[in-house]
Amino acid sequence: MISRKTALKLGEIYSAKFTSSTYSTSNYKRKLEERVYRDIFYDFLFENEYEAWFCNSVKNLFKPREVKEHIAKLHTGETLAIVTPNFNWEDRRRLGQNYLQNLVKDILDYFDSFSHDHFIQNYKDMIQELLGLIELDGYKYKKGLLLLPEEDLMDVDTERNYLKELISEAKLQNQDTILHHLNLSEEHYINSKWDDSISNSRKFFEEVVRQVAKKLSLFKTNKVLDAKISDKAGNCINYIKKKGLLEQKEDNALGSIYVLMSNNGGHPYIAKKDQARLLRNYALTTSQFVLLRLIGYIDEK
């Protein structure tokens, strides 16, 4: 699924490509002049075989911001509402995903055709960010092809938001730090900083486990967790297992995943960016598991 963040970046790229904003000076006053190249935009969509209604829809866009929202709101289905009166919102969102996938492929194909041209330099950073975002969403781009995600890949928006809800519900300490590392793991991935992404995925996981152990200590013993335990994530995993939050097989699984994330030598035969993506998914999934266990345990008591 194309995430909200990806849809926004896609809208930003289309706006950059098909609009302009300049300032003019008249009587010593600066005036912002915004323009949408509607005919060029229409031709782009027409040549890439979009439906007539979508091609025509861009003729009603007059500002760069409108172009960005027109693309981004395919994610929510709002852009499709006027032409799908008999659809429910879930159907519109599903259809919007088809449009977003095609728009990603077509704009990347377009820029790929200028890959050795000076023209591409103005868009290079945005394109690299888009490529990073679609990879986080589970897609792979090859010229003329956007490979669809496997069914078991995570819905990035859903997983991220659900984790935030769980962290809040569990009332963990240091929530800002936890979310800071979560956000950095994504940001560094998008910017192709694979080692930094892996490092922050690990730090996110470590801080979740540490705060879960501290919460469990206060709940069960009414005492602050010994620093000798809380200082190391491995000790925290063992602690929450000993206190009944994890079964042996679960303790083994979490420990093994943590070792994977802590392997500074990397993992031979796997590209760094794939390591970063997979280890981030491990960190998010296992953290979610531990948080659900803590919440369930406290609720039962």
Per-residue pLDDT tens digits for 157-204: 677 788 888 899 999 999 999 999 999 998 888 888 888 999 999 999
What would the mean pLDDT of 13-21 be, rounded to a whole number?
Answer: 94
Confidence check: pLDDT of 214 > 50: yes
Rounded distance, CA 61 to CA 18, Å?
11
> Which of 116-130, 207-221, 251-265 is predicted most confidently?
207-221
Which pLDDT tens digit goes with each residue over 39-89? 999 999 999 989 899 999 999 999 999 999 999 999 999 999 998 888 889
Specify the CATH architecture of the domain 156-300.
Up-down Bundle (1.20)
Q: Which residue has the higher pLDDT, 291 or 256?
A: 291
Mean pLDDT of 115-134: 81
The predicted pLDDT at position 142 comes to 80
- For 128, the token pair is 């690299």
Tell me the C-alpha distance between 72 and 12, whole Å.
Answer: 9
User: 151 falls in which pLDDT band (50, 70, 90)?
Assistant: very low
CA 139/CA 242 separation, integer angstroms:
40
Q: In sequence order, which residues have a C-beta less than 8 Å from that of residue 140 and are 6 or more positions away?
A: 134, 146, 147
User: Considering the chain, what is the average pLDDT of its residues?
Assistant: 86
What is the CB neighbour count within 10 angstroms for residue 25?
A: 8
Is pLDDT above 80 for 141?
A: yes
pLDDT score for 267: 63
% of the chain surpassing 70 pLDDT:
92
On the question of pLDDT at 126 being above 80, the answer is yes
The structure tokens listed for 173 are 């300490």
Q: Which residue has the higher pLDDT, 150 or 168?
A: 168
Closest CA to 3 of 95, 76, 105: 76
* Res. 106: pLDDT tops 50: yes
Over residues 245-250, mean pLDDT: 76
Q: What is the pLDDT of residue 131?
A: 92
Average pLDDT over residues 200-224: 91
Lowest-pLDDT range, 83-87, 140-144, 220-224? 140-144
Instruction: For the chain, give every domain's residue range.
Output: 4-147, 156-300
CA 95 to chain centre: 20
pLDDT value at residue 155: 62
- Taking the CB of residue 273, how many other CB atoms lie within 10 A of it? 15
The whole-number pLDDT of residue 269 equals: 59
Output the six-digit token pair for 297: 């345990």
**Above 70 in pLDDT, residue 264?**
no
Residue 152: pLDDT band by 50, 70, 90 thresholds?
very low
C-alpha distances (whole Å) from 74 to each of 85, 89, 132 are 15, 11, 20
pLDDT at 70 (0 to 100):
97
What is the mean pLDDT of the segment spanning 288-295? 87
All residues at 6 or more sequence positions from 233 whose CB lies less than 8 Å from its CB, including other chains: 205, 206, 209, 210, 258
